[in-house]
Structure 1
Amino acid sequence: MVVLDLLGIVFPVFVCALIGWTWAKLGKAFDSETVTGLTVQIGTPCLVFDTLTRLDLNLADFAIMAAATAATVVGFAVLALPWLYAARLDRATFLPALMFPNTGNMGLPICLFAFGDRGLALAISFFAAMVILQFTVGVAIASGRASLRMALTSPVLYAVAAALPVMAFDWEVPAVAAKTLHLLAGFTIPVMLIALGVSLAKLEVRSLGDGLAVALARLLIGFGVGTAVAWGFGLPPDAAGVLILQSSMPIAVFSYLFALRYGRRPEAVAGAVVLSSLLGFVSLPVVIWLVRFAGISF
């Protein structure tokens, strides 16, 4: 029964990503710019606002999860920096990969299937905070200079800002707007997973040795820090499970894009992204079993 439950959580995510990967390998047309634009600019902000305002999540829950997210990022950096130094790997190249997991494409559906709608709401709280940190701290590390511009132009930031007063004052979103947002939010997760598969198929993978080392470090550091932060914050089981799952996600594709844009060994980062994603499909069922079925207490 547990095996079937685990399969029901991981298999839909794998199939959607595999569809995208197969589509790209067959040479089928896929306008990544248009699909990514629709997902990032429209689908994701609608999903964030719809989930935060429609589901059972109050402002305190959101604030605690956001604070815990910030703590995990600090923990990732604290462990990653000495490891990169010991491994003689460039920090500007690989630190963003170790600090910022794929909490969107892969994290949101995994948490949804593992913990239901409540899990999705908590995962989106983690994701929203992570996006803001990734487009400020992550960009600053990769580029060598700090900038708020990318974060301030992210639609997710404004979706969160719009959702917070609705959550705080328990306002009711007009039915027409709520149904429209819910409809637009519905395409986001499957399209994100298909786009992830296409991205993985198109990445030019080299430097597999460094990539494998970074991929393993991302998963191990993620699980360790996520577990420690969940325990330290005294999170309830569902929030702790979501936090650990999100922390244990593979490297975000954005880490490759940052490396490509700023000339930080993009071929090596691409290898780390692909390998960590493959390892994630193997390791995540174990993590899900630990947080969802093994009865771990925090």
Structure 2
Amino acid sequence: MLATLCAIILPILIVSALGFIWGRMGQTLEPRLVTALVTTIGTPSLVAHTLTGLTVDTAVVGRMVLVSFAVFAGFALMGFLVCRAMKLPLHSFLPSLMFPNTGNMGLPLTLFAFGQEGLALAIVFFVISITLQFTIGIGIASGSADPRRLLKMPLIYAVVLSLVFLVTGWPVPRWLSNTLDLLGGLTIPLMLIALGVSLSQLRVRSLGRATILSVARLGGGFLVSYGIGRAFGLEGPALGVVVLQSTMPVAVFNYLFAELYRREPEEVAGIVVVSTVLSFATLPLLILFVL
């Protein structure tokens, strides 16, 4: 079991640590360039290649979609209650409690824990997560929601294209499949390196508050996802993927949006850092639980 845990966790830690060391050495890694590569090329390619090669039951995928929406509704309620109890502004702190790091950490962890089947289900959860974050999440931070943002997301078109192939049964041309595989392959390593670099540049401002909110993000994410997953009848890898993705730390995008809309970015940065450090410490127990 120790070997299994090391095989799942150590690659995440090592690649993230390389990014952290890179950032602490003062080396350049333009965040906007990395974000652009990951969001406009890497992630859509990874999603399209994985979805068009789905080998899991479509009924399980459909249930995963429903569970994902239910889980994020649960996160919204949990975050609202925590913010109200701590008398914190929703614009600044609710997105951090709602949206975990399902990309940088969630995707590689589910891949190593459950293989390609797990990655396919994790990508379904990730697509729902990133869609909600770039609509509702931005809406909370900015004070106004605009569904038209979806039209600017290449990820949405990758999903639509994948569904066309899945519904019609058309075979994906080999040149296209190989191209998507090649481009999608850069996504997970880049995500982890970018996570490490981001952590090297962020600072913790209010350690006590950041710790409380980080525990709420991780602990609440676990309880909400496990309860909803069981209520929907999920089991095995499907339940494991939902719990694993939901118990990830605060997504770095929450900090970027807080910075963009001036929603106490220093406080949000602290939650990102503390929740990520705590998650690294709790990962062995989490992996043991879901396996």
**TM-score, with normalisation over the residues of structure 1?**
0.95
Whether 1:77 aligns to 2:76 is yes
The equivalent residue for 1:202 is 201
Whether 1:138 aligns to 2:133 is no
The equivalent residue for 1:193 is 192
Q: Deviations over 1:254-295 (max 9, x none)?
A: 111111111111000000000001111111221110110xxx
Corresponding pairs, count: 291
SS at match of 1:249: coil
Matches within 5 A, 1:200-279: 200-279=199-278
Whole-Å separation in 2 of the counterparts to 1:168 and 1:286: 39
SS at match of 1:141: helix
Q: Deviations over 1:210-247 (max 9, x none)?
A: 21111110001100011011101101311000000001
Contact 1:46–1:181 at 8 Å: present in 2 too?
yes
Contact 1:98–1:218 at 8 Å: present in 2 too?
yes
Whole-Å separation in 1 of the counterparts to 2:2 and 2:191: 26
The equivalent residue for 1:284 is 283
* Offset, 1:85: 1.1
Whether 1:128 aligns to 2:147 is no
Whole-Å separation in 2 of the counterparts to 1:37 and 1:211: 29
* Offset, 1:7: 1.3
The equivalent residue for 1:167 is 166
Aligned residues: CA RMSD: 1.2
Whether 1:99 aligns to 2:98 is yes
The 1:60/1:169 distance shift into structure 2, 3 A limit, reads: farther
* Offset, 1:105: 0.5
The equivalent residue for 2:23 is 24
Contact 2:102–2:126 at 8 Å: present in 1 too?
yes
Most deviating of 2-11 and 55-64: 55-64
Q: Deviations over 1:80-135 (max 9, x none)?
A: 21221111222221110011100001000000000000000000000001111111
* Offset, 1:32: 2.1
Percent identity over the alignment is 47
Most deviating of 73-82 and 238-247: 73-82
Letter in 2 for 1:73: F
**Structure 1 stretches lacking a partner, 5+ long:** 293-298
SS at match of 1:104: helix
Contact 1:58–1:167 at 8 Å: present in 2 too?
no
**TM-score, with normalisation over the residues of structure 2?**
0.97
* Offset, 1:58: 4.8
Contact 1:140–1:146 at 8 Å: present in 2 too?
yes
Most deviating of 128-137 and 56-65: 56-65
Contact 2:203–2:273 at 8 Å: present in 1 too?
no
The equivalent residue for 1:154 is 153
Contact 2:214–2:271 at 8 Å: present in 1 too?
yes
* Offset, 1:70: 0.7
The equivalent residue for 1:296 is none
Whole-Å separation in 1 of the counterparts to 2:145 and 2:54: 35
The equivalent residue for 1:60 is 59
Matches within 5 A, 1:9-20: 9-20=8-19
Whole-Å separation in 2 of the counterparts to 1:287 and 1:92: 30
Whole-Å separation in 2 of the counterparts to 1:131 and 1:140: 13
Letter in 2 for 1:28: Q
Most deviating of 205-214 and 174-183: 205-214
Q: Deviations over 1:139-192 (max 9, x none)?
A: 111111111233221111111111112122332100111111111111110111
Contact 1:17–1:194 at 8 Å: present in 2 too?
yes
Whole-Å separation in 1 of the counterparts to 2:276 and 2:26: 22
The equivalent residue for 1:37 is 36
Contact 2:75–2:221 at 8 Å: present in 1 too?
yes
* Offset, 1:67: 1.2
Contact 2:205–2:267 at 8 Å: present in 1 too?
yes
Whole-Å separation in 2 of the counterparts to 1:185 and 1:276: 27
Contact 2:204–2:274 at 8 Å: present in 1 too?
no
Letter in 1 for 2:226: T
Contact 1:208–1:268 at 8 Å: present in 2 too?
no
